[in-house]
Amino acid sequence: LEELVSLQRQRLAEGGGSSLFRDAIDWSLSEPDLPWVPAFLADEIQRLGGLSTEGIFRAPGDTDAVNRARTQLELWDPAGCRGQLADACVAASLLKLWYRELPEPLIPQSVYSRALEAANSPDEAAALLKLLPPLNRLVVDHLLLFLRQFLGDPAVARATKMDAAGLAVVMAPSLLRCPSADPRVAFDCARREADFVRALLLHGAGANGTPVQDEPAEVSAAPVSAPECGDRIEGILAIKNDLPEIDEEEDSDPTTPAAE
């Protein structure tokens, strides 16, 4: 994140061809420390009708369109990327992909266990954000404020069929990354990760007591593809039935890998 923001500042300060970048990302002139990619994609999701798109963030965008748009982002060409965003689901898939491909998760591994412990305590979950590096905190706050737009209006929640619990499940892998390679551990942690993100959505900084949609939304018929969406929990569910039975007397700490 630091390298991206540093390069972003440099390009915004340059003349010549970089003016195309400045013109397309005019918001960054007032938010120079916010990485341009997630802010740009959040704006595009809204422009493309994401607030009324059924299954937004859950239904995958067209794979070819996502890859073409991603190429334009890597070229620092927001205008070219905009031309490849066929619909809000493409932009939403690309946003999730960007977060999940960060070298380090937004919630650092150093506080991962504390995040799981705070999953059922809204106050602790909100307090944990204060422990994040300043840039991580800025990006997390921006993401949470953006996602709350899908929860504050019951009409939006009815249209998207996404409540706080649904958003938390699909967006948790964008914030947290289980350090264990054991699928049994990851499966249990995925539930607690989603609980933590739900607590942030409902009670984190910036919520300001605004009523949000927290009732189970009607399940969308939109198809879900784990490889395309990158939703780790879906992949774990797919292999759960192939796992061996776990002795109930084993250590139940979900952050400790099972013995070989």
pLDDT at 31: 64
For 215, residues 6+ apart whose C-beta sits below 8 A from its C-beta are 163
pLDDT at 236: 43
Q: Which has the minimum average pLDDT: 63-77, 152-166, 235-249? A: 235-249
- Is pLDDT of 252 > 60? no
pLDDT bracket for residue 207 (50, 70, 90): very low
Q: Compute the distance between CA of residue 106 and CA of residue 103 in angstroms, rounded to an integer.
A: 9
Chain segment 110-169, per-residue pLDDT in tens: 999 999 999 999 999 999 999 999 999 999 999 999 999 999 899 999 999 999 999 999
pLDDT bracket for residue 205 (50, 70, 90): low
- Is pLDDT of 237 > 70? no
Structure tokens at 28: 């960054």
> Considering the entire predicted model, what is its pTM?
0.75
Instruction: Looking at the structure, give the CATH architecture of the domain made up of residues 106-209.
Output: Orthogonal Bundle (1.10)
Contact 189, 255 (CB under 8 A): yes
Structure tokens at 96: 């999730």
pLDDT at 30: 53
Q: What share of the chain is helix, strand, coil (3-state, %, to 5)?
A: 60, 0, 40
Backbone angles phi, psi at 61, to 5 degrees: -80, 160
Q: What is the 8-class DSSP label of residue 259?
A: P
Rounded to an integer, the average pLDDT of 22-41 is 69
Rounded to an integer, the average pLDDT of 59-84 is 92
Contact 69, 81 (CB under 8 A): yes
Structure tokens at 89: 């689901």
Rounded to an integer, the average pLDDT of 71-88 is 91
Listed residue (136, 141, 145) closest to 112, CA to CA: 136
Q: What is the dihedral of CA 143, 146, 149, 151, to 10 degrees?
A: -10
Q: Where are the domains of the chain?
A: 1-101, 106-209
pLDDT at 1: 77
pLDDT at 9: 74
- Is pLDDT of 173 > 50? yes
